[in-house]
Amino acid sequence: MAEAIIRASIAKGTLSADQISVSDINEARLQLLKAKYSVNTESSQEQGLSAAELIVIAVRPQDDLNALGQIVQQFASPTATVVSIVAGVTIEKLGGYFGTERPITRVIPNTLTDTGYGYSGVALNAYVIRDQVEDFLLGFGKVQYLEESYIDIFTGFGVAGPNYIYYFIESFVDAGVLAGLPREQAWKVALENMMGAVMMLQQTGLHPRQLLDINNSPGGVGMHGLYELNNSDFAAGLQRSVLAAVKRTTELGVKE
């Protein structure tokens, strides 16, 4: 995810490569990032942290955050904002590692960074000035600011959201092939229908049920298809999937 943020930020121009310093215990990973994006991987942690206005923490929750926090508190300015994308670690816990009075931004990044679409969920502590982090956050997508209590729900619904869309499109294309269309044609039709339907919702401001009513005549083709879809438990299955993802997110936070 850190690489995706670097790639999107540089591509969008919100950051230049010479503004980004990266530290990692994996030397091969550092060399790869330097070769691909020309970011600074040679400065010491002391040099990088002392100059940083934003410190992005992109490690696993099981990694040694306590040791990392000690390094940040030793070398970084107390006004430098920590931006954490560490799954399951709350702002309160982050404050224990990086300083209770340090500006801390907890971000659940979307996985659509290269497209400019998708919301990242963001929770701020009381010391963050939004203007200091917003340009950076908008460099890899859109932003929804949340109460931290909603972060797990946002993760299971919003961040996992593309999974449900990908799976639907795959299944829809397979349905077209099953009915007799060549796969290439079915693929193009599925994508065009998906994008067009989203545009209709945005442009008209109508509820999906209103557009369903407009799109289906009594006893027509569409209504027969929807009848079978309703019988398939599609809606409840999707809702169970979101609830399962939210539950798993909560479990990971407890394990941390």
Task: Please indicate if the annotation marks 218 as binding a ligand.
Answer: no
What single DSSP character describes residue 96?
Answer: H
**Cα(24)–Cα(29) distance, integer angstroms:** 7
Tell me the β-bridge partners of 104: 82
Task: Please indicate if the annotation marks 61 as binding a ligand.
Answer: yes
Cα→Cα distances 250→2, 110, 142, 194, 229, Å: 22, 18, 24, 31, 31
Task: Please indicate if the annotation marks 60 as binding a ligand.
Answer: yes
Contacts with 133 (C-beta within 8 Å, 6 or more apart), sequence order? 54, 81, 83, 105, 122, 124
Give the CA angle between residues 108, 112, 114 to the nearest 5°: 120
Task: Please indicate if the annotation marks 123 as binding a ligand.
Answer: no
Instruction: Give the number of other CB atoms < 10 A from CB of residue 163.
Output: 12
Per the annotation, binding residues for NADP(+) are 58-61
Per the annotation, binding residues are 58-61
